[in-house]
Amino acid sequence: MVARRLGSADSYGGYRSDLVDILREKGIRDLAVLRAVSMVPRHLFVPAAVRHRAYEDSALPIAAGQTISQPYVQARSLELLRLTGQEKVLEVGAGSGYQTALLAELAGPIFAVERLAGLAQSAREALEAALVRPVSILVGDGTLGWRAYAPFDAILVAAASPEVPEPLLEQLAPGGRMVIPIGTHAVQELTLVEREGNTYRRTVATDVRFVPLLGEFGFRS
């Protein structure tokens, strides 16, 4: 849908197809996730200086010392959420906006929180350029979630925390799923948290490396 709306102005379709093949070879099986990757123009979400690398399966630098995550890690995170298209989703750490765009292809209303105002504005502009349907982006402390729109059916955290922030647990709907990197600055595990009534089940998916989640319930520095 995104790529179709871009029409003849989009010349990166072949590169996206190659990236989808790479992700499939690495074990991504969710067809909806693969389709989203094939549709969303990642090159619009990276700085011009690294645009030629936009469809590599690697993390890339963006502004303010942050990164756009490796496509495989993003695809694996989305696959773990098992989105059906109707969920209300909270994204913590909008960053470049690319993962926000993938979520917009996969779920219902998307609410994203970004700590850095400059990144939030760049994400809004990139989402508009990519013709992604409107999403809501709040500048603030992502560890606090976005209580005004809670509860959320799914929460995706794109930065590493020493523990799951308590406000995010509280804002996860019963039956909901959260994916979050848990660990130290150096060593982290991508973790699936599933809420069953008032209990939370955790499953470790894979080792990862993310920038730290800064905030009241994350890392302080």
Among all residues, which ones are annotated catalytic?
A: 69
- Closest to 94 (Cα-Cα) out of 34, 143, 48, 158: 158
**Whole-angstrom distance, CA of residue 107 vs CA of residue 109:** 7
Q: Which residues contact 103 (CB under 8 A, 6 or more apart)?
A: 78, 83, 89, 91, 110, 135, 156
Q: Which residues contact 66 (CB under 8 A, 6 or more apart)?
A: 95, 96, 116, 119, 211
